[in-house]
Structure 1
């Protein structure tokens, strides 16, 4: 079976079986390693404290080989504790790492015309916490090398394996490198493991065994570094951007060399929680694509009851939500919850924050063996459980005095959960009532609106109680407008709403400047025109800046044709949140509304879900025949959608998601879904097709 044809768990199983078979046979002698001058005298294995199994696996791999002295190669190995991205203090701002870099640095390593067409080379990119942790781990390795006694050290990450023929390739490359650097202390940097950056690596001075890279190598899974080379890298700090990218800028000054082909490879079965800062840019440029999203976390920890001090920001509720718990928060002045109601609440929610309980409910909560209790120091517990009453083994008291001192550790220790990569959140303002349940006790079904399933099954979505959502009360007036923040007729280009050159996963079209025209408004044209790796070209625009709550309105005439979606929506990443109006070509007498919610403060890289919580609303006209006024009115505790001044749908907290709480940009686009489920099979005979947007307005 070819491993590149296997997928998922089958591929991992096949790889492990092959490695198990290989482990029965020795890998041979690697004479480059050993004691004495001109030898690689030490191996540093970078390994996280929480992943001892990966260290054991790496040592087993090293034990297959022997040094020039006949000793196991593993005898040279020393573990270096990796910096953990889950430790907020370890990845905080430091003089060693500049966490903001320019997209041009990525393009220097791996040029790509599609990426450069979408973004300028000066586009700022912020490193992820994982990238910062990796960079700091390698910096610590360089410091160990400078302080040590070995002239040359192999630095290994703990997810590697040696390919067949590795021993001969390393020895041949080491002899060639030592010969070229004779009299200069040997090679200062030799890559034994790397990935050619999309086949664009620039190589010079090539021989059979190795080459001199000028740029274009990714990964730092395995490289030999001299003491002098480590000193050179430390003098060149700070590391700016991902460390493997930054190393490309150091090739000349450190005299980098690389084996003609990698002898050490990354394991495909190791699993990783790494996150890459450039990925959102690659996705928007259409360079990477996927129709699926990773499965969202759901914490199975039993019911959690928590009480806070009532600060202005609700950090604890947000933290529990980020851990994968379905959280309901209370203001504290609601009626006291009896035991029977508490049981029903805990069937629907995983965690209750500041819940007022009756004495019977207190007793029932303590008697629930799986229940956990969390108290902020000096928490408001009137009418609730007191910290000294709840079982000590199931209780955590958070002793920090200021929000900036908050930590994941006591909460995760109590719940038995891994510490998240993201920083502990400040949370949303309490006045916004983010995790409150605003659903009416009774709601009537409506034949004019229906849920479109299946929804994303996450900790941030409640499956609706009824098959059909209710419409607003008949005759309810649309919300009055506030102050005008932005307005553009869109008959000519506007600095308020800019054309986009990008795409996104699941879109068959790439957005290009040619897809946006100005006539009686902004015309977005989707046509059969291969653009990048997409078969169609279309247009899109977005507000020049994000907005935080308000009314978002436009006159829209939708595109006609199956397989097409005319979108008018608010959107953000990190965390991903979205409020949609979508007019789909397969149902021209309806509109689709949708909400995506992920928890976290601004910058938290949480982006689960690709279905959202969609609902289709019947309309009494053809959306592609004429202009109609569509509006999204987004408030902290409610979202309403209206058409021609009539409210057609509304949502409150947990109906079925919390209300998005972070600033978002307003977007308009015309796209073709890769999936047929959203808008049907694309009808190419209807192309080109266009959607029109005019009089886009944003109000407070």
Structure 2
């Protein structure tokens, strides 16, 4: 896996304009191609059915060049339909691909001390659906080559271009490959396109034209494969992990060769919808970094979406609409029916309403809106007054029972004019969780009950109320909280704990790397110590620990003494990835008399690759004391319908559904850390004269 640097829009536009001009200039003959003995007799291009533009573009590129006989390369080119990650059946379990690989496999291709320090080599990684689809696409190519009539085939992905001087480089490389492999009956695998894995590729037996790689090449965007080579790859299956990674293990048996410098490259102006399974691990190891999260999905071009469900145990449709980037409000069905003015007010905030109770006049007004879309699950009762047969198909649809392999996306995205996600259609959260309900008490409170809110920026996403909503944290209507249940996990932290071990990792935006040296156990509990590093991968080293297991809900508490000093954040929080959800308690060392609370929400079932947002929905709470001076007991009480923050047993803040986010609904782990934000917005600039600094945690407790 190789992560390309982002290319600026202007550079992408310039590249596209340049290639458009080049398209009219003949590229000359590439004598390695032809119908003679020891020539490359065919080209196979892997192309998605839904990407006809890419097919046209790559054939235009190939049309510039001719074979040794003088005919266009397009005359020997064949399109092979790629496996689509959006097709649940196509990426379901298969004997061709083993979706689990190890961190050690990544390190085999691209050694990196940071990754090796953070994770054991046998740490399992699950391939993304896109990676499975890419692997299966290449397997289908190998089958076609092995069963074909051509001795040698050039395999191309559909986003490539031929670099200046490519014909001569390919010809020289092909002649050298034939000379080197005479005894073996010809080359089995020759890379014409690749990316050197961080400059670490092992290049053996090198000359001016070729080298023999033993490891260290990413990409399979352009390679010559023989029939014997294809047969060898098929015998070696299943593909374990991303296919370009797995190929590195096949180099020796195939006698792989590569051009000294790639002659074919991937276009830098095309957006990729691939999802790299290794990326979260690289981020935690500090190898990739970013100040900003990715952008949420594009909004539907429709107006209001009204949906009614069959009332099943799980709320699949509401979750699906949320995953598509709509701000969704769901109803229980027993609320007072909304009048037309109330409906208009609700639609200032929400894009989609699920099971909304409407009086006939409000429903009629919504249906009369030519931009509205009506959705009904197959077993949903038709709302009184709704006549579906009077609506055009472009504005209404009855959704068939959910296909567990993802068949429901097509109809839903078709009527909403949205691109189908690659993720499986969701099962949704249990209805009992009441996810996506708007439970805010703000509308029922007098202005005096609303807290003034600092100008803390929130994420601009479909899973946070918009700025126009005027969200303000509210005083607690009921300052009591349910009694904690039986203990699930606990540790004094005065000694190393098997339940809450130390972490060796980091994350984007953190100037510190977490190391075992940054976690010390004393009579006062776990000491997380941050200090400047004279040499290291990041300028500071600190400590962190986390629970081994994940928890569905409960109360999570610890006695904490925050670290003093500007530029430092002491954190105690719940967190998960895929999708990213988080509930925070944080202390800024420069502002120790206030508590920062935050919630991050992304929709989806467990495993959904959605991790948008980098600000969350923060607000500060006055503590009335200096959190760095002594220990106090802090708790997060997380329930399906609300999150409550407590300090020394007293409720200081509470949030319910859409206040201003939905409540996280998937299992999370408990974390504690001391870190240094790259951005000075949150905690100011770090003062190294005040280092080392330490945060202390003791008596960590998780209860039901």
**TM-score, L = length of structure 2:** 0.96
**Which stretch has the larger CA shift, 427-436 or 525-534?**
525-534
CA distance in 1, matches of 2:516, 2:529: 10
Which residue of the partner structure matches residue 320 of structure 2?
319
SS of 2:265's equivalent? Answer: strand
- 2:543 paired with 1:539: yes
Which residue is equivalent to 2:509? 506
Q: CA deviation at 1:483?
A: 1.2
1:397-452 CA distances to partner (integer Å, 9 max, x unpaired)?
11226766752111011111111010000000000000110012233456866344
Q: Are the aligned partners of 1:446 and 1:469 in contact in 2 as well (CA < 8 Å)?
A: no
Matched residue of 1:224: which SS?
A: strand
| Secondary structure in structure 2 of the residue aligned to 1:666 | strand
- After TM superposition, the structure 1 stretch with the greater mean CA deviation from structure 2, 181-190 or 268-277, is 181-190
Closer, same or farther: CA 448–364 of 1 in aligned 2, 3 Å: closer
Q: State how many pairs are aligned.
A: 696
Structure 1 segment 156-195 matched on structure 2, within 5 A: 156-182=156-182, 184-195=184-195
Matches within 5 A, 1:276-291: 276-291=276-291
Partner secondary structure for residue 649 of structure 1 = strand
**2:591 aligned with 1:587, yes or no?**
yes
* Alignment match, 2:572: 568
1:74-113 alignment, distance < 5 Å = 74-113=74-113
1:442 maps to which of 441, 444, 460: 444
C-alpha separation in 2, matches of 1:66 and 1:432: 63
What are the within-5 Å matches in structure 2 for residues 48-447 of structure 1?
Answer: 48-182=48-182, 184-300=184-300, 301-383=302-384, 385=386, 387-388=388-389, 390-400=391-401, 407-440=408-441, 441-443=443-445, 444=447
SS at match of 2:319: helix
Task: State the shift of 1:84 in Å.
Answer: 1.0
Tell me which residue corresponds to 2:483: 480
Consecutive unaligned residues of structure 2, counting only runs of 5 or more, are none
Aligned partners of 1:463, 1:36: CA distance in 2, in Å?
A: 65
**What's 1:678 paired with?**
682
CA distance in 1, matches of 2:227, 2:5: 42
| Inter-partner Cα distance in structure 2 for 1:669 and 1:661 | 23
Q: Any conservation in 2 of the 1:104–1:121 contact (CA below 8 Å)? A: yes
The alpha-carbon deviation at position 381 of structure 1 amounts to: 3.3
Shift of 1:170: 0.5
Cα deviation digits, residues 662-695 of structure 1 (max 9, x gap): 0000000000000000001111111111000001
**What are the superposed Cα offsets for residues 293-323 of structure 1, whole Å, 9 maximum, x if unpaired?**
1111241321111111111000110000000
Gaps of 5+ in 1: none
How far, CA to CA, are the matches of 1:646 and 1:106 in structure 2?
A: 48
Quote the Cα distance in structure 1 between the aligned partners of 2:334 and 2:637. 28
Moved more, 74-83 or 242-251: 74-83
The 3 A distance-change label for structure 1 pair 637 and 683 is same
Partner secondary structure for residue 373 of structure 1: strand
Residue 632 of structure 1 aligns to a residue whose secondary structure is strand
1:166–1:263 contact (8 Å) kept in structure 2: yes
The equivalent residue for 1:558 is 562
Q: Give the superposition deviation at 1:106.
A: 1.0
Question: Aligned runs of 1:33-52 on 2, under 5 Å?
Answer: 33-52=33-52
CA contact (8 A) 1:310 1:380 kept: no
Q: 3-state SS of the aligned residue for 2:408?
A: coil
Following the alignment from structure 1 to structure 2, what is the Cα–Cα distance between the partners of residues 651 and 11? 45
Does 2:593 align with 1:611?
no
State the alpha-carbon separation in 2 of the partners of residues 7 and 172 from structure 1: 31
Q: Distance in 2 between matches of 1:230 and 1:372?
A: 50
Shift of 1:604: 0.2
Aligned to 1:25: 25
Q: In the alignment, what sits opposite 1:491?
A: 494
CA RMSD of aligned residues (A): 1.8
Task: Determine helix, strand or coil for the equivalent of 1:534.
Answer: coil
Report if aligned partners of 2:400, 2:408 keep a CA contact under 8 Å in 1.
no
* Alignment match, 1:518: 521
Matched, 1:631 2:641: no
TM-score (norm 1): 0.97
